[in-house]
Amino acid sequence: MLGVPVPFIYLVILALAMAVVLHHTSFGRHVFALGGNEKAAELTGIPVVRVKIEVYVICALAAGLQGIIISGWLGSAPANMATSYELNVIAAAVIGGANLAGGIGGPLGAIVGCVLLEVIRNGLVLAQVSSYWQQTLVGVIIILAVLVDRIRSRMS
């Protein structure tokens, strides 16, 4: 469709829907409050256990949907396909503006972080940099992003 992969269109639609839910509903405010300080959220009357279960259910549904999309795209879904992606996910979220301590972030920032990471990774592949050094650079980017985040949080 217009040269854009269908999974990317799904990603944009779901990210926009999740941004609306997180930033314009009481559920979203509860999620951010829970991520910022779980004890304080509980003291203000937020049903912490229920919100956690709802977030885990949404994550499981998103993972299931992704499995369906990957199966349709590749014709199969290998069990080890996303092995060691954790570092990439954390890096994308932090670059996209999420705070590792919680309470700040969103899906649109995570997409921006993913795009930036993939542009960097693509440049390293084109420059024929070893995959080991690529992982090292991702780690350095995470460290720098966390450092900038800490400096930014201290200034405010």
Above pLDDT 70, what percent of the chain?
A: 99
> 59-68, 74-83, 104-113: which range is least confident on average?
74-83
Read off the pLDDT of residues 80-91 as tens digits, 9 standing for 90 and up. 877 777 777 888
Cα distances (Å, whole numbers) of residue 98 to 21, 38, 146: 17, 17, 10
**How far is Cα 113 from Cα 107, in angstroms, rounded to an integer?**
10
**How far is Cα 19 from Cα 103, in angstroms, rounded to an integer?**
14
Above pLDDT 90, what percent of the chain?
A: 26
What is the reported pLDDT for 52?
A: 94
Sequence-separated (6 or more) residues with CB below 8 Å from residue 15 = 107, 108, 110, 111
Could you state, in order of their start, the residue ranges of all structural domains in the chain? 1-81, 84-156
**How far is Cα 141 from Cα 114, in angstroms, rounded to an integer?**
12
pTM: 0.75
- Pull the structure tokens for residue 139: 């780690």
